């Protein structure tokens, strides 16, 4: 056994454990583990403790079967992107989401029983080195303005520059630093379509520049969710690979004719499924009707009509979006809980329209009916309005993962690894 051998053991352990977990097991500090990893000088005395960790993990993996790949879920929301990659056989090993209500929904649907999974709140103070090794990084990061003012001054003062300077203070910076440190085989970033034009395109150029400076092969495409669900929802998807691949978005299978709204509405003909976790919260099964609280009050309906008439007279396009079962809706927004104005379902001539229920919003985003909604209607509307169209993520994952597997296999084949002995 040499120090190179123990470093290989450390590398294997870091595939499954954080530096803090390894430090606790070895009786050291996380800083020491970080130094061992950076200097490639892991002492022989650590061999027994490291092998114990690796062997323990190997036994657990053998018992439940190893995932096809490992991924992390940043700015996770309620896990819409995660669902797409789990469908391809991946295992989530790390999640970050700061909003407590979203965390509640996430945990109720995905749980925390997996012993190699860690959930943290704010990713900003979390060190990149402490993020577990992974094959794919997923992030639906919020778009914030990037300011490059003061770069020259920072340079003159000898302060950090490059991506640290151009993106510091933004949440993209936290995505970038983790990619730079952990070097996953691939990443997927999702954002609003307007990211392309924000700040006259400077924001997007900065993002692409940073990712390409990291030597990743980067591709991007705006995809409309209406291919899969009855909602016009354009989002930009950015994917990157650690090495050059023949990946292309041309491989996407996008149905030319998507579904209509009737496919996600509660059924009033007696066929609406009874969901134990919903009960009669959204739909009264005894009467076969949507709960009356989702119908707009006379006051709100009068206000919205007057508001629309005012802007129409002024030549503006602002107003409510009245839809029927044959419609494709506008984009569901996080403000839907306020008045529901962008998607109001007609209930017939002379009748006040209604909002979609949170369960219908879940379906509109492509979540299956077994997805639990444990929060209030207000929070549920916010969460689905901020989420992704799940089938879009599933389709992007489908064309990404063969390339991810090839990169992971090529990397594994190039490494001189010790065999994992199972006691």
List, by residue number, the catalytic residues. 143
The three-class DSSP label of residue 323 is strand
φ/ψ of 69, rounded to 5, equals -160, 165
Task: Name the token pair of 222.
Answer: 């705006």
Within 10 Å of residue 238's Cβ, how many Cβ atoms?
19
Which of 224, 266, 231, 229 has the alpha carbon at shortest distance from 360?
266
Distance CA 84, CA 351 (A): 39
Cα–Cα distances (Å) from 3 to 54, 75, 211, in that order, read: 17, 38, 34
Q: How far apart are CA 326 and CA 230, in angstroms?
A: 9
Q: Using CA atoms, how far apart are residues 91 and 101, in angstroms rounded to an integer?
A: 23
Which segments of 40-113 does DSSP mark as H helices, in order? 47-64, 80-86, 100-110
Note the maximum CA span of the chain: 83
Is residue 42 within 8 Å of residue 3, measured between CB atoms? yes
| C-beta separation of 352 from 298 below 8 A | yes
Distance, in Å, from the CA atom of 267 to the CA atom of 280, rounded to the nearest integer, reads: 13
Residue 413 contacts by C-beta under 8 Å, 6 or more apart in sequence? none
Helix extents (H) in 223-326: 298-313
Alpha helices in 45-167 (DSSP H): 47-64, 80-86, 100-110, 151-156, 163-167
For residue 182, give the nearest of 217, 216, 227 by alpha carbon.
216
Helical H segments across 183-290, by residue range: 202-213
CA distance linking residue 317 with residue 309, whole number of Å: 10
């Amino acid at each position: 056994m040499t120090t190179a051998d123990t470093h290989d053991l450390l590398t294997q352990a870091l595939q499954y454990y954080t530096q803090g977990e390894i430090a606790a097991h070895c009786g050291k500090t996380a800083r020491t583990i970080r130094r061992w990893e950076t200097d490639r000088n892991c002492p022989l005395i650590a061999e027994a403790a490291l092998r114990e960790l690796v062997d323990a993990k190997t036994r657990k993996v053998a018992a439940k079967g190893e995932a096809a790949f490992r991924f992390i879920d940043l700015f996770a929301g309620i896990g819409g992107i995660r669902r797409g990659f789990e469908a391809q056989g991946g295992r989530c090993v790390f999640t970050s989401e700061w909003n407590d209500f979203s965390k509640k929904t996430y945990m109720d649907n995905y749980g925390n029983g997996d012993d190699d999974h860690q959930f943290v709140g704010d990713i900003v103070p979390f060190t990149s080195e402490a993020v577990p090794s992974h094959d794919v990084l997923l992030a639906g990061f919020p778009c914030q303005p990037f300011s490059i003012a003061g770069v020259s001054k920072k340079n003159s003062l000898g302060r950090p520059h490059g991506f640290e300077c151009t993106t510091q203070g933004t949440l993209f910076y936290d995505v970038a630093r983790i990619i730079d440190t952990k070097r996953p085989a691939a990443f997927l970033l999702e954002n609003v379509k307007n990211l392309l034009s924000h700040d006259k395109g400077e924001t997007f150029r900065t993002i692409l520049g940073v990712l390409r400076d990291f030597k990743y092969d980067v591709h991007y495409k705006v995809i409309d969710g209406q291919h899969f669900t009855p909602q016009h929802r354009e989002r930009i998807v950015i994917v990157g690979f650690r090495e050059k691949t023949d990946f292309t978005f041309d491989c996407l299978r996008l149905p030319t004719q998507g579904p209509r709204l009737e496919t996600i509405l509660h059924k009033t003909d007696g066929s609406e499924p009874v969901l134990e976790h919903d009960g009669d919260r959204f739909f009264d099964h005894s009467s076969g009707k949507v709960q009356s609280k989702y119908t707009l009050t006379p006051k709100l309906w009068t206000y919205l009509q007057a508001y629309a008439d005012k802007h129409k007279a002024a030549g503006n396009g602002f107003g409510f979006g009245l839809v029927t079962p044959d419609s494709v809706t506008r984009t569901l927004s996080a403000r839907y809980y306020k008045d529901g104005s962008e998607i109001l379902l007609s209930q017939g001539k002379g009748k006040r329209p209604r909002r979609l229920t949170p369960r219908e919003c879940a379906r509109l985003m492509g979540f299956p009916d077994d997805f639990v909604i444990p929060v209030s209607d207000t929070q549920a509307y916010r969460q689905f309005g901020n989420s992704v169209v799940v089938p879009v993520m599933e389709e992007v994952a489908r064309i990404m993962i063969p390339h991810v597997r090839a990169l992971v296999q090529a990397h594994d084949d190039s490494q001189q690894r010790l065999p994992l002995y199972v006691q």
